[in-house]
Amino acid sequence: MILLLSSLAMAADCPFTATPTEIDEELNKAEAAYSALEVDAFAEAVDEASLMLPCVTGVMPTAVAARMHRIKGIVYFGAGDKALAIESLTAGKGLNKDYLFPAELLPAEHPVVTMYSDAHVAGSEEVSAPASGSLAFDGILGLDRPMLRATVAQVLGPDGKPVRTAYLHVADPMPGYELAVAATPEPPPPDPEPVADANPGPEAKPDPLPVKPVKPPKEAKDGGLPLPLVLAGSAALLYGAAGVSHAIYRSPPAPTDNEAPGWIAVNNSMVVASGALAIGAGVTWVLK
């Protein structure tokens, strides 16, 4: 009957309220009845505490949760469910590893004492956060649910008061509550479209291809004759003048002895000058 009442109490609506202190008083009655071997009183006190738990008005103190786990372990052992007994006893040890069962409650050689002593306390696992309010496990606020052991789980409202409280074994799901939704980051705004210039400047034109300058031909300034032709013409004139002078010198009447040296000097000068001009014309033509 105790196990059945515990299962029903988890889903039942609360017809009354109970404080953590009132639950602790019922657990104290259960221990006293078990020590006195009063089976009916023990069962009644355990059932009362189990019914009160979903309707508790405050966060369960850790010490009260640990006492409930130990009492539940004794109940499950008596019902022959060793697995659930170990889950509850391990939970009690995880909250108070230094606790020792009083001899008047359980003798040292009792199997429950041995299971409690041999219990291995595991870690915890993080559960989803509620949309509002908070969570508590065995009176400890946070999202860390104990692993591989039972726990008193509570969903607390924004005011810190319990909205739902349940005794959970390893295979039991969390009491229902609205989960917090992770905020989805907004996508970045698109890049702005380029804005056309209201007063566009002149359209840029590509640079023209470079033009290699052409070297003009070497010609005489002012459209005159080329220098080589001028020099060659001057040489011909001087040479012709030298020939005329030689003819005059040879024609009668012959010059006197005083005039002959002058004619000869003039004739020779013309010949030399014409030769120099001819050479200059040739050099100039080659350099051109």
Digit-coded pLDDT (tens) for 94-103: 999 999 999 9
The per-residue pLDDT for 4 is: 40
How much is the average pLDDT of 250-272? Answer: 54
Digit-coded pLDDT (tens) for 154-188: 999 999 999 999 999 999 999 999 998 876 667 77
The per-residue pLDDT for 3 is: 46
For the chain, percent of residues with pLDDT exceeding 90: 57
Query: How far apart are alpha carbons 124 and 128 in whole angstroms?
Result: 13
Query: How far apart are alpha carbons 135 and 67 in whole angstroms?
Result: 20
The per-residue pLDDT for 191 is: 76
The per-residue pLDDT for 215 is: 60
How much is the average pLDDT of 48-54? Answer: 96
Pair type for strands 151-156 and 162-168? antiparallel
The per-residue pLDDT for 199 is: 63
Question: Where is pLDDT greater, at 276 or 97?
Answer: 97
Contact 23, 49 (CB under 8 A): yes
Give the range among 7-21, 122-136, 203-217 with minimum mean pLDDT: 203-217
Question: Where is pLDDT greater, at 17 or 242?
Answer: 17
Digit-coded pLDDT (tens) for 127-157: 999 999 999 999 999 999 999 999 999 999 9
The per-residue pLDDT for 244 is: 47
The per-residue pLDDT for 53 is: 96
**Cβ neighbourhood burial of 137 (10 Å; 0-12, 13-18, 19+):** buried
Phi, psi angles (nearest 5°) of residue 134: -155, 180
Question: Would the pLDDT of 266 be above 90?
Answer: no
**Which amino acid does the sequence have at 59?**
V
Digit-coded pLDDT (tens) for 232-246: 555 555 555 545 455
Domain ranges of the chain: 2-121, 221-287
Beta bridge mates, 153: 137, 166
How much is the average pLDDT of 213-225? Answer: 52
For tokens 């509002």, the residue is 132
The per-residue pLDDT for 156 is: 96
How much is the average pLDDT of 215-230? Answer: 51
The per-residue pLDDT for 178 is: 93
Question: Would the pLDDT of 73 be above 80?
Answer: yes
